[in-house]
């Protein structure tokens, strides 16, 4: 048995699988009709009814095979492997007579049969062929009896095929409507043209069941053709390039070619808005591969008689394009033309908006720069005002606190019956507070001189090891109350510098004082010195409270002290590291600070000082 074709336009049944089956006694016509009526009443689909008709008709006509084909004008002939050779035979040409017997000089192989004789019966309505019935024998046959019986089956077959075609038309119209709505929605909601092109190609190739589709756009070479209008009297064609915008293709169409190189595109340009229709291969010069895709519908995309491009639909089989299909493709072409115009208008508006936006952006950038400069000036003024307030607050505290202590000591000394030891204690307080006030004033004066570069450099040879020894000897004694240990790591080689002795000595003093002040009790302070050919690096590290990253860049500023220092009652003015920074700069060196957490919960704060081994006076080489 040959299988059913599986295509809506084709229903076929072979009744006998061998020539010997033809010798069996066929049932009489009434029995076959009863069997057909029973099958028709029990079937729930047109497909099964048509299968039953093929079975009953082939049985009644004693045929080796029976094929019923519902021919749809727009979709072309079927291509099933089992029936291709049979349906492609010249005896099936649509313009032949309604009933024809065909004796074949050469057998046609259909499945496992070799047919030698055919009876072609055309199902017609209003002089239009709806389909055909093909009866086949493996031997030459007189088909007169079958022709007589056909008149009983003709109305039933006609009705079944008409119902199939009606179903197909309804399905096709539903498909047209669905795709049209999807494309309209895409045009309404999408600003990009490429998704619309892709949807249009998918819609046309799917709904029309064709092999290849493409959208070709025209790009005109001369300004006068930027809005070309057809002159039908002269048939004037502009110089234009056809570019491939979107395609679903089995054979590659060139990405671009000249309008003059494609006769089909020229014909479509001249005949717009009507399409160019080719149902079979034609001798045209075109890059559209008509030799492989002979059926072509080339629809111009137009707007106000301006040709924007073409919608090209091609099929591998020779077909006849139906009026319904052409009308629907025209609707799709109209939607595509509208989308192209909308996109181009949007692009022009977008370009104009971009240009205006760029101008506005440049204006805003100029204003932003002016605003930024103004903001920076305001920030500088605010920062200077903040520094002033901090300076006044710190100076007020540092000046008033010692004065308060001295005032209290003086009042106590005025008591006539004050014991001698108490007198000595208050005198020590007076001396200590006076010294603190003097040191503060001296620090301020030193910073002022360093900042104004009023202090000349007195350069001399300095033994750094000896200087470090002098400064570190009293360290543990000064910090006995905190039980601090100083670990010194010096190189074996001599450490000789040509620098300012007083400045370097003050730097060491301030660094050691700062380390001892902020080191945790019972901890070790590490002093390490390394040298290279032209520089000496000194690192002083202590374990203590953290310096948060936000405050680390400002520890060398004047009167800047870390958060929580005042609450911890740690004495100081915030001038020590500022003085160090100025002295280091005066000695042509550099200093940096880091603060990193340790496993014991403390932070390791390290100050790294780098000094040149030899500095020169101004003007010296």
What's phi and psi for 549, nearest 5 deg? -55, -30
188-229 pLDDT per residue, tens: 888 788 888 888 888 888 888 888 888 889 888 764 444 444
Comparing 399 with 382, which gets the higher pLDDT? 382
| pTM, entire model | 0.46
Pairing state between β 459-463 and 485-489: unpaired
pLDDT recorded at residue 200: 86
Token pair in block for residue 515: 């380390």
Mean pLDDT score of the chain: 77
Token pair in block for residue 454: 């009023």
> Which range among 87-96, 398-407, 525-534, 546-555 shows the weakest confidence by mean pLDDT?
87-96
Give 96's pLDDT tier (boundaries 50, 70, 90): low
Mean pLDDT of 97-121: 80
pLDDT recorded at residue 17: 31
Q: How far apart are CA 59 and CA 66, in angstroms?
A: 9
What DSSP character marks residue 538? E
477-523 pLDDT per residue, tens: 888 888 888 999 999 888 899 998 888 888 898 888 888 888 899 99
411-428 pLDDT per residue, tens: 888 887 888 888 888 888
Query: Residue 41 above 60 pLDDT?
Result: no
Q: How far apart are CA 244 and CA 136, in angstroms?
A: 48
> Can you tell me which residue has the tokens 């309404």?
188
The answer to whether the CB of 179 falls within 8 A of the CB of 206 is yes
Rg of the chain (C-alpha set): 53
pLDDT-above-70 percentage for the chain:
77
Return the HEC string of 174-219. Answer: HHHHHHHHHHHHHHHHCCCHHHHHHHHHHHHHHHCCCCEEEEEEEE
429-458 pLDDT per residue, tens: 888 878 777 777 777 777 666 666 666 778
Give 92's pLDDT tier (boundaries 50, 70, 90): low
Bridge-partner residues for 103, per DSSP?
Answer: 117
Query: Residue 529 above 90 pLDDT?
Result: yes
The answer to whether the CB of 132 falls within 8 A of the CB of 120 is yes
CA angle at residue 78 from 75 to 79, to 5 degrees? 125
pLDDT recorded at residue 606: 92
275-296 pLDDT per residue, tens: 888 776 555 667 777 777 778 8
Q: What is the DSSP track for 285-322?
A: --TT-TTT--EEEEEEEEETTEEEEEEEEEESS-----
Strand segments (E) across 59-125 = 65-70, 99-110, 113-125
């Amino acid at each position: 048995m040959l299988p059913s074709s599986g295509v809506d336009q084709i229903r076929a049944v072979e009744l006998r699988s061998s020539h010997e089956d033809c010798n069996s006694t066929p049932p009489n016509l009434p029995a076959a009709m009863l069997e057909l009526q029973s099958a028709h009443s029990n079937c729930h689909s047109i497909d099964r009814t048509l299968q039953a008709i093929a079975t009953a008709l082939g049985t009644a006509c004693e045929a080796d095979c029976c094929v019923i084909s519902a021919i749809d004008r727009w979709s072309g002939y079927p291509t099933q492997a089992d029936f291709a050779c049979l349906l492609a035979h010249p005896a099936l040409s649509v313009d032949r007579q309604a009933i024809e017997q065909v004796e074949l000089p050469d057998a046609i192989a259909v499945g496992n049969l070799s047919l030698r004789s055919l009876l072609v019966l055309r199902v017609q309505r209003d002089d239009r062929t709806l389909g055909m019935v093909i009866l086949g024998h493996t031997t030459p046959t007189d088909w007169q009896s079958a022709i007589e019986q056909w008149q009983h089956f003709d109305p039933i077959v006609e009705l079944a095929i008409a119902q199939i075609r009606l179903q197909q038309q309804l399905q096709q119209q539903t498909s047209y409507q669905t795709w049209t709505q999807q494309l309209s929605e895409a045009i309404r909601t999408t600003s990009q043209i490429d998704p619309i092109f892709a949807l249009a190609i998918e819609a046309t190739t799917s709904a029309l069941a064709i092999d290849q589709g493409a959208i070709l756009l025209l790009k005109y070479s001369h300004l006068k053709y930027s809005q070309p209008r057809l002159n039908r009297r002269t048939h004037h064609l502009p110089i234009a390039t056809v570019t491939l915008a979107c395609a679903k293709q089995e054979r590659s169409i060139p990405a671009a070619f000249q309008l003059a190189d494609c006769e089909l595109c020229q014909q479509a340009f001249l005949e717009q808005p009507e399409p160019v229709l080719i149902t079979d291969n034609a001798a045209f010069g075109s890059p559209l591969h008509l030799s492989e895709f002979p059926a072509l519908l080339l629809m111009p995309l137009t707007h106000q008689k301006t040709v924007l491009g073409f919608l090209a639909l091609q099929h591998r089989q020779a077909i006849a394009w139906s009026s319904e299909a052409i009308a629907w493709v025209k609707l799709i072409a109209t939607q595509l033309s509208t989308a192209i115009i909308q996109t181009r208008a949007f692009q022009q508006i977008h370009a104009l908006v971009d240009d205006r936006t760029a101008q506005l952006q440049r204006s805003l950038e100029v204003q932003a720069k002016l605003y930024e400069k103004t903001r920076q000036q305001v920030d500088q003024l605010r920062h200077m005002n903040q520094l002033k307030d901090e300076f006044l607050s710190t100076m007020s505290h540092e000046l008033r606190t010692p004065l308060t202590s001295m005032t209290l000591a003086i009042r106590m000394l005025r008591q006539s019956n004050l014991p001698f030891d108490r007198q000595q204690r208050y005198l020590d307080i007076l001396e200590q507070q006076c010294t603190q006030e003097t040191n503060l004033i001296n620090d301020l004066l030193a910073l002022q001189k360093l900042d104004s570069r009023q202090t000349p450099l007195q350069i001399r040879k300095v033994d750094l090891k000896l200087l470090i020894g002098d400064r570190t000897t009293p360290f543990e004694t000064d910090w006995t109350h905190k039980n601090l240990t100083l670990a010194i790591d010096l190189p074996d080689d001599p450490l000789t510098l040509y620098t300012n002795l007083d400045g370097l000595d003050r730097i060491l003093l301030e660094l050691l004082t700062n380390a001892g002040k902020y080191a945790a009790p019972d901890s070790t302070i590490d002093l390490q010195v390394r040298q290279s050919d032209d520089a000496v690096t000194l690192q002083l590290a202590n374990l203590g409270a953290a310096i948060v990253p936000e405050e680390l860049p400002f520890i060398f500023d004047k009167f800047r002290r870390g958060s929580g220092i005042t609450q911890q009652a740690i004495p100081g003015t915030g001038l020590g590291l500022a003085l160090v920074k100025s002295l280091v700069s005066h000695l042509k060196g550099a200093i940096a600070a880091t603060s990193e957490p340790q496993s014991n919960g403390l932070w390791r704060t390290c100050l790294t000082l780098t000094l040149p081994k030899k500095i020169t006076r101004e003007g010296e080489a």
